[in-house]
Protein backbone atom coordinates (compact mmCIF):
# COMPACT_ATOMS: atom_id res chain seq x y z
CA UNK A 1 0.00 0.00 0.00
CA UNK A 2 1.55 3.26 -1.02
CA UNK A 3 1.43 6.12 1.44
CA UNK A 4 -0.06 3.89 4.14
CA UNK A 5 -0.74 5.35 7.56
CA UNK A 6 -1.99 3.69 10.71
CA UNK A 7 -5.62 4.39 11.57
CA UNK A 8 -7.20 4.76 14.99
CA UNK A 9 -7.02 2.08 17.69
CA UNK A 10 -9.70 -0.57 17.21
CA UNK A 11 -8.90 -2.78 20.21
CA UNK A 12 -6.51 -2.03 23.07
CA UNK A 13 -4.13 -4.48 24.68
CA UNK A 14 -6.38 -4.51 27.78
CA UNK A 15 -9.43 -5.42 25.67
CA UNK A 16 -7.48 -8.17 23.94
CA UNK A 17 -6.21 -9.59 27.25
CA UNK A 18 -9.75 -9.62 28.69
CA UNK A 19 -11.11 -11.42 25.62
CA UNK A 20 -8.26 -13.97 25.75
CA UNK A 21 -9.20 -14.80 29.36
CA UNK A 22 -12.87 -15.25 28.36
CA UNK A 23 -11.96 -17.58 25.51
CA UNK A 24 -9.61 -19.54 27.78
CA UNK A 25 -12.58 -20.20 30.10
CA UNK A 26 -14.60 -21.43 27.09
CA UNK A 27 -11.76 -23.78 26.09
CA UNK A 28 -11.51 -25.12 29.64
CA UNK A 29 -15.26 -25.76 29.67
CA UNK A 30 -15.30 -27.40 26.23
CA UNK A 31 -12.23 -29.60 26.78
CA UNK A 32 -12.32 -30.21 30.56
CA UNK A 33 -10.01 -33.05 31.58
CA UNK A 34 -8.54 -33.36 28.08
CA UNK A 35 -5.09 -32.65 26.71
CA UNK A 36 -4.96 -29.79 24.21
CA UNK A 37 -2.43 -29.13 21.46
CA UNK A 38 -2.31 -25.43 20.59
CA UNK A 39 -1.04 -24.96 17.04
CA UNK A 40 0.05 -21.39 16.51
CA UNK A 41 0.15 -20.17 12.93
CA UNK A 42 3.36 -18.20 12.51
CA UNK A 43 4.00 -15.38 12.69
CA UNK A 44 0.88 -13.33 13.24
CA UNK A 45 -0.81 -15.48 15.88
CA UNK A 46 2.06 -15.53 18.38
CA UNK A 47 0.86 -12.69 20.61
CA UNK A 48 -2.74 -13.97 20.66
CA UNK A 49 -1.57 -17.53 21.38
CA UNK A 50 0.55 -16.38 24.32
CA UNK A 51 -2.33 -14.40 25.80
CA UNK A 52 -4.70 -17.34 25.48
CA UNK A 53 -2.39 -20.04 26.79
CA UNK A 54 -1.49 -18.01 29.89
CA UNK A 55 -5.14 -18.29 30.87
CA UNK A 56 -5.93 -21.94 30.01
CA UNK A 57 -5.65 -24.32 32.94
CA UNK A 58 -5.50 -27.64 31.07
CA UNK A 59 -2.81 -30.15 30.12
CA UNK A 60 -1.35 -28.34 27.12
CA UNK A 61 1.27 -28.82 24.45
CA UNK A 62 2.18 -26.15 21.92
CA UNK A 63 3.55 -26.34 18.42
CA UNK A 64 3.72 -24.06 15.41
CA UNK A 65 3.07 -24.13 11.71
CA UNK A 66 4.06 -21.57 9.14
CA UNK A 67 1.77 -21.23 6.14
CA UNK A 68 1.52 -18.68 3.41
CA UNK A 69 -1.25 -17.44 1.18
CA UNK A 70 -0.40 -13.73 1.09
CA UNK A 71 3.31 -13.16 0.41
CA UNK A 72 3.88 -9.40 0.28
CA UNK A 73 0.36 -8.64 -0.89
CA UNK A 74 -2.71 -7.39 0.97
CA UNK A 75 -4.91 -10.00 -0.78
CA UNK A 76 -4.80 -13.77 -0.35
CA UNK A 77 -3.57 -15.72 -3.36
CA UNK A 78 -5.96 -18.56 -2.48
CA UNK A 79 -3.12 -21.08 -2.58
CA UNK A 80 -1.99 -22.41 0.81
CA UNK A 81 1.65 -23.40 1.16
CA UNK A 82 2.96 -25.12 4.32
CA UNK A 83 6.35 -23.60 5.07
CA UNK A 84 6.84 -25.28 8.49
CA UNK A 85 4.88 -28.32 9.58
CA UNK A 86 4.15 -29.65 13.08
CA UNK A 87 6.71 -31.58 15.07
CA UNK A 88 4.06 -32.90 17.50
CA UNK A 89 2.11 -36.09 16.87
CA UNK A 90 -1.55 -35.00 16.99
CA UNK A 91 -3.16 -38.42 16.49
CA UNK A 92 -6.12 -38.78 18.88
CA UNK A 93 -5.47 -35.34 20.40
CA UNK A 94 -7.60 -32.21 20.68
CA UNK A 95 -6.08 -29.56 18.45
CA UNK A 96 -6.82 -25.85 18.53
CA UNK A 97 -5.47 -23.93 15.57
CA UNK A 98 -4.58 -20.43 16.75
CA UNK A 99 -4.73 -17.80 14.01
CA UNK A 100 -4.47 -14.04 13.95
CA UNK A 101 -7.31 -13.30 11.51
CA UNK A 102 -9.88 -15.20 9.48
CA UNK A 103 -10.30 -13.40 6.18
CA UNK A 104 -10.98 -15.49 3.07
CA UNK A 105 -11.12 -18.66 5.22
CA UNK A 106 -9.05 -20.55 2.65
CA UNK A 107 -6.04 -21.16 4.90
CA UNK A 108 -8.04 -22.27 7.93
CA UNK A 109 -10.33 -24.57 5.96
CA UNK A 110 -7.26 -26.19 4.42
CA UNK A 111 -5.49 -26.52 7.79
CA UNK A 112 -8.54 -27.93 9.55
CA UNK A 113 -8.90 -30.63 6.89
CA UNK A 114 -5.13 -31.27 6.85
CA UNK A 115 -4.91 -31.73 10.63
CA UNK A 116 -8.09 -33.82 10.77
CA UNK A 117 -6.52 -36.04 8.13
CA UNK A 118 -3.55 -36.59 10.46
CA UNK A 119 -5.86 -38.26 12.99
CA UNK A 120 -6.62 -35.46 15.43
CA UNK A 121 -9.45 -36.28 17.83
CA UNK A 122 -10.93 -32.80 17.33
CA UNK A 123 -9.77 -29.73 15.45
CA UNK A 124 -11.03 -26.35 16.61
CA UNK A 125 -10.08 -22.84 15.60
CA UNK A 126 -9.34 -19.78 17.70
CA UNK A 127 -8.86 -16.49 15.89
CA UNK A 128 -8.07 -13.12 17.37
CA UNK A 129 -10.06 -11.47 14.59
CA UNK A 130 -12.80 -12.49 12.20
CA UNK A 131 -13.42 -10.54 8.98
CA UNK A 132 -16.62 -12.06 7.57
CA UNK A 133 -16.76 -9.66 4.59
CA UNK A 134 -13.60 -11.27 3.18
CA UNK A 135 -14.90 -14.86 3.35
CA UNK A 136 -14.55 -16.95 0.18
CA UNK A 137 -15.10 -20.38 1.77
CA UNK A 138 -17.16 -21.57 4.72
CA UNK A 139 -15.12 -22.31 7.80
CA UNK A 140 -16.34 -22.67 11.39
CA UNK A 141 -14.38 -20.63 13.90
CA UNK A 142 -14.95 -21.91 17.44
CA UNK A 143 -13.39 -19.06 19.41
CA UNK A 144 -13.43 -15.52 18.02
CA UNK A 145 -11.78 -12.61 19.77
CA UNK A 146 -13.38 -9.76 17.80
CA UNK A 147 -15.17 -9.20 14.50
CA UNK A 148 -13.78 -6.50 12.21
CA UNK A 149 -14.83 -4.67 9.07
CA UNK A 150 -13.24 -5.16 5.68
CA UNK A 151 -10.02 -3.20 6.25
CA UNK A 152 -6.40 -4.23 6.20
CA UNK A 153 -5.77 -4.87 9.91
CA UNK A 154 -2.35 -4.54 11.56
CA UNK A 155 -0.87 -4.59 15.05
CA UNK A 156 -0.69 -7.14 17.84
CA UNK A 157 1.11 -9.63 15.61
CA UNK A 158 -0.68 -8.80 12.36
CA UNK A 159 1.50 -7.24 9.70
CA UNK A 160 1.76 -5.60 6.35
CA UNK A 161 4.92 -6.88 4.66
CA UNK A 162 6.40 -7.70 8.10
CA UNK A 163 5.73 -4.19 9.50
CA UNK A 164 3.46 -3.14 12.40
CA UNK A 165 3.52 -6.53 14.22
CA UNK A 166 4.94 -4.88 17.33
CA UNK A 167 2.05 -2.46 17.90
CA UNK A 168 0.49 -3.26 21.30
CA UNK A 169 -3.04 -2.74 19.92
CA UNK A 170 -5.07 -3.53 16.82
CA UNK A 171 -5.54 -0.90 14.14
CA UNK A 172 -5.79 -0.71 10.37
CA UNK A 173 -3.90 0.75 7.45
CA UNK A 174 -5.47 3.77 5.88
CA UNK A 175 -3.85 4.82 2.61
CA UNK A 176 -6.26 7.75 2.31
CA UNK A 177 -4.75 9.46 5.37
CA UNK A 178 -8.14 9.34 7.14
| 85, 103, 149, 176: the active-site residue | 103
Among 24, 37, 122, 51, CA closest to 86: 37
Query: Could you give the C-alpha distances from 93 to 43, 86, 158, in angstroms and in order?
Result: 23, 13, 28
CB 90 within 8 A of CB 37: yes
Report the C-alpha gap between 172 and 14 in whole angstroms. 18
> Residue 66: beta bridge partners?
42, 84
100 catalytic? Reply is no
Catalytic residue set: 103
Amino acid sequence: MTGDTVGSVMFTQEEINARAAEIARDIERDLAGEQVVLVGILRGAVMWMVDMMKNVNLDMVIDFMAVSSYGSSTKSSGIVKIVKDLETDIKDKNVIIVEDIVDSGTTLKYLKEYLSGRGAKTVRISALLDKPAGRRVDVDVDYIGFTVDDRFIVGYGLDYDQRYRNLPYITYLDDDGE
